[in-house]
Structure 1
């Protein structure tokens, strides 16, 4: 179980971060650590991934769905695309992502949902044989 891997919050966070986002993404982010952003990267690993994503109250699958909805509402396209890909790692299907976007159309607005559909299709294309359709 991911919740007890490693000896400290950072180790647990790095484990979950890698399992959700993939080694390539995390390695790329880590390769860009410098004196200016090192504290922020540590913060992300410790708190976002080591404290919140390791909480046992929701599955990673559900956390992915919730995260997608919030990123649509906040209009964060780069993070949304990253988390669409991560959602696949957490067992979320293209149909479930479609339903999150449909729900967001009602509560976040049609332009937000329209953008989310376009962004999701950009991510689906290389990941699924049928482009997620």
Structure 2
């Protein structure tokens, strides 16, 4: 994909939210199609974050957490749960979000999301 200002901005937001180690790991694919795929998802998904508008990174993070939980995409939920603090989301807000997920997406989705949150917190050395 051609390097554009929009792609550079999307890359910067992705890196600031997910961290260098995660982005570097995802971007290290030696396959040209894999690199193109990374550029595509960066420009589409992270381009939304980079466009500005009325939503702050914190709000976007909470929305992504809610949507990935609702869709049962726990692997992606885990990525965003682990980076939510960098986006300005507090643990207390994530705890409250779990109630919303259980109420509106179903108890199984809420339970699965809570398991992921507990695992992420355990990995960072918290209860």
Asked whether the two chains share a fold, i.e. TM above 0.5, the reply is yes
- For residue 37 of structure 1, report the CA deviation from its aligned partner: 2.1
User: How far apart, CA to CA, are the structure 2 residues paired with 1:130 and 1:26?
Assistant: 24
Alignment-derived partner of residue 4 in structure 1? none
Q: Is 2:42 the partner of 1:22?
A: no
Offset at 1:92? 0.9
Aligned partner of residue 12 in structure 2, secondary structure? helix
Preserved contact between residue 27 and residue 35 of structure 2 (Cα < 8 Å): no
Q: Is residue 33–residue 41 contact of structure 1 (8 Å, CA) maintained in 2?
A: no
Instruction: Give 1:82 shift.
Output: 0.2
Cα shift at 1:56? 2.3
Match of 2:104 among 85, 103, 107: 107
Map of 2:119 onto structure 1: 122
SS at match of 2:53: coil
Q: Deviations over 1:44-90 (max 9, x none)?
A: 1212112x001222000010011100011000011000000121111
Unaligned runs of 5+ in 1: 1-6
Q: 1:53 maps to what in 2? A: 49
Of the structure 1 ranges 66-75 and 39-48, higher mean CA displacement relative to structure 2 is found in 39-48
Over aligned residues, Cα RMSD in angstroms?
1.4
Name the CA distance, whole Å, in 1 between partners of 2:59 and 2:30.
Answer: 30
Q: More displaced, 32-41 or 69-78?
A: 32-41
Q: Give the paired residue count.
A: 123
The superposition leaves residues 71-121 of structure 1 with CA deviations (integer Å, 9 ceiling, x where unpaired) of: 110000110000001211112111111111101111100011001100111
Alpha-carbon distance, 1:130 to partner: 3.0
